[in-house]
Copies of this chain bind each other. A is one copy, B any other.
Amino acid sequence: MNVLIVYAHPEPKSLNGSLKDFSVKRLEEAGHTVQVSDLYAMNWKALLDAHDSVERQAGERFDPSRESKHAYANGLQSKDIEREQEKLKWADAVILQFPLWWFSMPAILKGWVERVYAYGFAYGVGEHSDARWGERYGEGMFAGKRAMLVVSTGGWESHYSSRGINGPMNDVLFPIQHGILYYPGFDVLPPFVIHRTSRVDAAKYAEVSDALGQRLDALWTTTPIPFRPQNDGAYTIPDLTLRADIAPDRVGFAAHVE
C-alpha cells in the first residue's frame, strides 16, 4: 500500500521527528511504500494568495475559491500544489503528524490544507440537488482512502478528558478529523495522541513508539470513526441538519458520530 505522511515540525531531532522516522521504517518494513511531505524541510509556502496560480484570471479581485477553481480546472496551479495533489491521489492512506499548537495544527500544515485542497479537488465537488449537497462528508475525491492523525501535546491526558479543561481531545480534533479529513471522503481512524511530551524519556519513548507501531500495523484493519454520511438520508437538504428522528437527544459534534 502507499502511505503519505504529511509532517509538520521544525526540528528533525524532536520527539515528532523521531516518531516520523520510526513510522517510515515500520511501514517500509511491512512492505508499504512511503512518501513524506516534511513541510518545514520543504520550506512549504504556507500562505494562500494570488501567487498560487501560474496565470491569474484577468481584471478580477482575488477571490480564493473562484481562483482555485479556475486554476485547478485549467492546469494553472502552482507546481508545489500539483505535486502534493499527486501524492494524495497516489496514497492509500494519509497520516498527518504534528504537535498540537494552540489547540490546532501548526500554521505550516494549515497552509498546506488551504492551498492543496483546491476547489474541484477537495471541495466544490459534485452536484447540488434536493437529494445531494455535493460530494462531501463521506464522498469525494478521497473516498476509499484512510487517514489518521498523529498528534503530540504538552498537556496531560486528563486535561483532554470528557470533563477536562481543554475539552475532550476528539472534540478539539473534530474540525480536523471531520472538517478536513472526512469532508473530502477519507475514512478517519481514531487519532494517535502522545501526552506530556516534556516527560517522554527513553523508557516512555519505547512505550510510545511501540504503541504507534501497533497502530501502523493495523492501519488497514482499524475501524474508522463512524461519522455520518451527508447524502444517505440522515440530514435534511439543503439545511443539512440531522433529521429529527435520528439521535433526537444529541446536539453538537457527538451527534455526527453513529
Contact = CB atoms under 8 A, between A and B. Distances in A.
* Max count, chain B CB within 10 A of own CB: residue among A61, A180, A230, A253: A253
Contacts of A63: 11, 14
Q: How many copies does the complex hold?
A: 2
Given A110-B104, A110-B110, A156-B240, A163 B255 contact: yes
Contact of A256 (B50, B158, B167, B240): B167
A131 interface: no
Interface stretch (A20-28, A171-179, A204-212): A171-179
A220 interface: no
A165 B255 CA distance: 9
Contacts of A108: 46-47, 107, 111
A168 interface: yes
A10 interface: yes
B47 A251 contact: no
A252 B111 contact: no
Contact of A252 (B64, B99, B168): B168
Interface in A208-258: 230, 235, 238-242, 250-256
B102 A180 contact: yes
18 contacts: A10-B47, A10-B48, A14-B61, A14-B62, A40-B47, A47-B108, A102-B175, A104-B110, A106-B114, A156-B239, A158-B239, A158-B240, A164-B240, A165-B240, A167-B174, A167-B256, A171-B252, A175-B175
Interface of A: 10-11, 13-14, 40, 46-50, 61-65, 99, 101-108, 110-111, 113-114, 117, 137, 154, 156, 158-159, 161-168, 171-172, 174-176, 178-180, 230, 235, 238-242, 250-256
